[in-house]
Chains A and B, each alone.
Chain A
Amino acid sequence: MRDVAIVGAGMTQFGELWSSSLRDLFTEAALGAMRSAGVDTLDAVYVGNMSGGQFVGQEHVGPLMVDALGVAGVPSTRVESACASGGAALRMGFLDVASGQSDVVLVAGVEKMSDGADVTTVLATASDQETEVYHGITFPGLYAMIARAHMASRGSTEEDLHWVSVKNHRHGAMNPRAQFPKAVTLDEVANSSPVADPLRLLHCSPVSDGGAAVILMPLEQARRITDRPVQILGTGMATASLALADRRDPAVLDAVGQSARKAFTMAGIEPADVDLAEVHDCFAIAEICCLEAMCLTDGCSAADAARSGFSALGGRRPINTSGGLKSKGHPVGATGVAQVIEIFEQLRGEAGDRQVRDAHIGVTQNMGGTGASSVVHVFRRV
């Protein structure tokens, strides 16, 4: 397998983008990535998109996007793993280049959620239709149950949840592409409207439109394009039962742990080697559970990581310097690729006010549903 690097990136603003359609979001991000890499031909395209069909009535997204881009003819596949679609698309793109099959691959993620669909109903299709959705549960409800289980068995508190949101908003306030680039106070989070007890409005990532794209090349060719390629050192994916009730412990995200171990092993690193990470904070409790599963808190309790400053910019291991899903936004299919772009920029020293110093090894963790799928990638500054 060849070494693979990211050589360019592009993304749209994340938010309620009334004037941008699904294909507009894709082309804006894709053209940005191609320009950033200075390429105008592609060998293959992978598009992460959870549900063009249910959100805007559009399936067959792979060929549509290359057509919209003006390169119809290029092999293009839509990759779906609910909210992990973006990460899963990166994995497919990585394997395509690593295998020697393609030299220039565009990996993109895109979602258009604000076009009138019943978002709650569409997102619920990421959980088990027969044993969960049929009985009326929605995603906030499922994560609320995870939070309750975690609080009962592992002692996390509602205040621990508030701190995750406060931290991520503090980071997001420095991200011009974030949907909510503004800080929130502990009180604002604690008093925000109840959504599904114990989760409140400001514990939940928003409904967003957005697109994000990166260009992958073999590392040896990458140096022709840029003097700062970012190598993909490891990729790992794991799955778990869709239904929360079928997990061994609802407070533990086993797929996240397994996907991280696989990626770290492939990359030849330990958790302690990770300088920064983007993890899947679809709800505040998710960040806590993901950090625990990935052993990224070095003895500091994952529930305390935000409050203590461990996971804040300037702390021991900054988590979600982009603002996370909470502040940056969560256009479902685009999220996994947007996480990659944050690490890409951080490792190249291009993160501006959000820059983590001496960042060498970065990690992204992208999760689908309540953790039924998880994709982890490890990146290295070259």
Chain B
Amino acid sequence: MAGIVGYGAYIPRNRIRTETIAEQWGKDPETIKGGLLLQEKSVPGLDEDTITISVAAGRAALDRAAIDPRRVGALYIGSESHPYAVKPSGTVVIEALDIGPEVHVADFEFACKAGTEAMFVALGLVESGRVEYAMGIGADTSQGAPGDALEYSASAGGSAFIFGREDLLADVVDTASYTTDTPDFWRREGEFYPRHGGRFTGEPAYFKHVLSASHMILERTGLKAGDFRYAIFHMPNGKFPLRVGKTLGFTREQLAPGWVVPTMGNTYSGSSPTGLAAALDVSDPDDLILITSFGSGAGSDSFVLRVTDLLPERKGLAPTVASLLEGPRRYLTYGEYAKYREKIKMNL
């Protein structure tokens, strides 16, 4: 038995509203908001990136776990916006968190699934007994090409989960992963913006994999939608997770706490992990939680978790996702947003 002993999230304070982006490109804001169910999204500051987000989320996770950082034997960060193509993000994060040097570090990637991937491997390592604690982080500062539909959703943020075998806040009941070669979304080495297959990213990609992994885990565990308190799905926009949740038999109430995308945007590798953090923030002992991620290319990781008696006393030891979303924030103009996201060509 292994599970989550600590968790934490971080969302940058800068925001940009859907209508600000829509007006820039001459689109009708209400059509976009109604179509994608997105109100606003987070924007990383000039000095924020996947590493800084991981550090903040990792600190919060350590606070909730209440363990000495040096007992963390492995740290994995999943992202599609690691600051370096070659140089691990994880090494900076361990130093900032006082973890190591006796620690295993690796960076993961698999489009938006890299966070749950890191969590899956961290869990497995702890279950094997090779390390006492392992941290899996999903964080991103995702980019959307100017004028592209992704510009409304691609945002920044992430969450960290520490796995261990004792003093669990949530026990991992089971996992399931479903993976195929489905090229719905990609970015070649050297390209600044990703490309995608339009509507191909829907039914043959997102829905096929999220549904398959979720069905697999429900069958394996013998559970049905009604048994769960909350369910979280990857959130590329506001609509997809609601639709897939409904297909699987979940109610809006079950989906609500984890459905953070309308004000956070899609933090890619941080998306479903941050939804999970938000659900844990409001969960009670014995609650069952389902999380299924999705990464383009494509694959989904599913986890079923059961909340323990320890969660209530640890929740308050770090900021909740709601406090990050509703707390102090600054709304940017499109020009400020373009500057922060380095979309303006400069002669440097």
Question: Which chain A residue lies CB-closest to B31?
Answer: A193
Q: Count contacts on B: residues with CB < 8 A to the other chain.
A: 9
Please give, as numbers and ranges, the residues of chain A lying within 8 Å of B190 by CB-CB distance.
none
Cβ-based interface call for B35 (8 A): yes
Bound CA span A114–B28, Å: 25
Q: Pick the contact of B28: A16, A18, A116, A193 (CB < 8 A).
A: A193
Bound CA span A217–B168, Å: 77
Given contacts A16-B203, A18-B203, A18-B204, contact A194 B28 (CB under 8 A): yes
Cβ-based interface call for B198 (8 A): yes
Please determine whether A116 and B200 come into contact, CB atoms closer than 8 angstroms: yes
Please give, as numbers and ranges, the residues of chain A lying within 8 Å of B203 by CB-CB distance.
16, 18
Question: Which chain B residue lies CB-closest to A18?
Answer: B204
Cβ-based interface call for B199 (8 A): yes
Bound CA span A116–B196, Å: 8
Please give, as numbers and ranges, the residues of chain B lying within 8 Å of A114 by CB-CB distance.
199-200
A residues 179-203 in Cβ contact with B at 8 Å: 193-194
Majority SS at the chain B contact face:
helix
Majority SS at the chain A contact face:
loop
Interface centre among A16, A114, A116, A194 (most CB of B within 10 A): A116
Bound CA span A308–B98, Å: 77
Please give, as numbers and ranges, the residues of chain B lying within 8 Å of A116 by CB-CB distance.
197-198, 200
Contact with B along A226-238 (1 / 0, CB 8 A): 0000000000000
Bound CA span A194–B200, Å: 23
Question: Which chain A residue lies CB-closest to B205?
Answer: A18
Question: Which chain A residue lies CB-closest to B208?
Answer: A18
Please determine whether B200 and A18 come into contact, CB atoms closer than 8 angstroms: yes
Please determine whether B198 and A193 come into contact, CB atoms closer than 8 angstroms: no
Question: Which chain A residue lies CB-closest to B195?
Answer: A116
Question: Which chain B residue lies CB-closest to A119?
Answer: B198
Bound CA span A16–B31, Å: 23
Please give, as numbers and ranges, the residues of chain B lying within 8 Å of A193 by CB-CB distance.
28, 31, 35
Question: Which chain B residue lies CB-closest to A194?
Answer: B28
Please determine whether A194 and B198 come into contact, CB atoms closer than 8 angstroms: no
Q: Count contacts on A: residues with CB < 8 A to the other chain.
A: 6
Give chain B nearest CB distance to A35 CB in angstroms.
29
Question: Which chain B residue lies CB-closest to A201?
Answer: B31
Bound CA span A116–B185, Å: 11
A residues 345-379 in Cβ contact with B at 8 Å: none
Please determine whether B35 and A16 come into contact, CB atoms closer than 8 angstroms: no
Please give, as numbers and ranges, the residues of chain A lying within 8 Å of B31 by CB-CB distance.
193-194
Give chain B nearest CB distance to A118 CB in angstroms.
9
Bound CA span A116–B204, Å: 13
Bound CA span A18–B197, Å: 12
Contact with A along B24-41 (1 / 0, CB 8 A): 000010010001000000
Bound CA span A116–B35, Å: 21
Contact with B along A9-23 (1 / 0, CB 8 A): 000000010100000
Please give, as numbers and ranges, the residues of chain B lying within 8 Å of A18 by CB-CB distance.
200, 203-204
Question: Which chain A residue lies CB-closest to B34?
Answer: A193
Bound CA span A116–B198, Å: 7
A residues 17-32 in Cβ contact with B at 8 Å: 18
Please give, as numbers and ranges, the residues of chain B lying within 8 Å of A16 by CB-CB distance.
199, 203
Please give, as numbers and ranges, the residues of chain A lying within 8 Å of B200 by CB-CB distance.
18, 114, 116
Bound CA span A18–B204, Å: 7
Question: Which chain A residue lies CB-closest to B182?
Answer: A18
Please give, as numbers and ranges, the residues of chain A lying within 8 Å of B197 by CB-CB distance.
116
Bound CA span A194–B198, Å: 20
Please give, as numbers and ranges, the residues of chain A lying within 8 Å of B28 by CB-CB distance.
193-194
Question: Which chain A residue lies CB-closest to B197?
Answer: A116
Bound CA span A16–B198, Å: 12
Please give, as numbers and ranges, the residues of chain A lying within 8 Å of B35 by CB-CB distance.
193
Bound CA span A193–B35, Å: 9
Give chain B nearest CB distance to A234 CB in angstroms.
40
B residues 199-230 in Cβ contact with A at 8 Å: 199-200, 203-204
Give chain B nearest CB distance to A68 CB in angstroms.
22
Contact with B along A105-125 (1 / 0, CB 8 A): 000000000101000000000
Bound CA span A194–B30, Å: 11
A residues 69-103 in Cβ contact with B at 8 Å: none
Question: Which chain B residue lies CB-closest to A193?
Answer: B31
Contact with A along B180-200 (1 / 0, CB 8 A): 000000000000000001111
Bound CA span A38–B50, Å: 64
Give chain B nearest CB distance to A188 CB in angstroms.
13
Bound CA span A114–B201, Å: 11
Please give, as numbers and ranges, the residues of chain A lying within 8 Å of B198 by CB-CB distance.
116
Give chain B nearest CB distance to A22 CB in angstroms.
16
Give chain B nearest CB distance to A330 CB in angstroms.
15
Bound CA span A23–B82, Å: 41
Contact with B along A156-182 (1 / 0, CB 8 A): 000000000000000000000000000
Bound CA span A126–B199, Å: 23
Please give, as numbers and ranges, the residues of chain B lying within 8 Å of A194 by CB-CB distance.
28, 31
Bound CA span A113–B199, Å: 11
Please give, as numbers and ranges, the residues of chain A lying within 8 Å of B204 by CB-CB distance.
18
Bound CA span A28–B28, Å: 41
Bound CA span A26–B203, Å: 23
Give chain B nearest CB distance to A1 CB in angstroms.
46
Bound CA span A193–B36, Å: 13
Question: Which chain B residue lies CB-closest to A117?
Answer: B198
Question: Which chain A residue lies CB-closest to B198?
Answer: A116
Bound CA span A329–B181, Å: 29
Give chain A nearest CB distance to B26 CB in angstroms.
12
Question: Which chain B residue lies CB-closest to A207?
Answer: B199
Interface centre among B35, B198, B203 (most CB of A within 10 A): B198
Question: Which chain B residue lies CB-closest to A114?
Answer: B199
Question: Which chain B residue lies CB-closest to A116?
Answer: B197
Give chain B nearest CB distance to A318 CB in angstroms.
32
A-B contact pairs, 15 of them (CB 8 A): A16-B199, A16-B203, A18-B200, A18-B203, A18-B204, A114-B199, A114-B200, A116-B197, A116-B198, A116-B200, A193-B28, A193-B31, A193-B35, A194-B28, A194-B31
Q: Which 9 A-B pairs have the closest CB atoms?
A: A18-B204, A193-B31, A116-B197, A16-B199, A194-B28, A18-B203, A114-B199, A116-B200, A116-B198
| New A-B contacts (6) at CB < 8 Å, excluding given A116-B200, A194-B28, A194-B31 | A16-B199, A18-B200, A114-B199, A116-B197, A116-B198, A193-B28
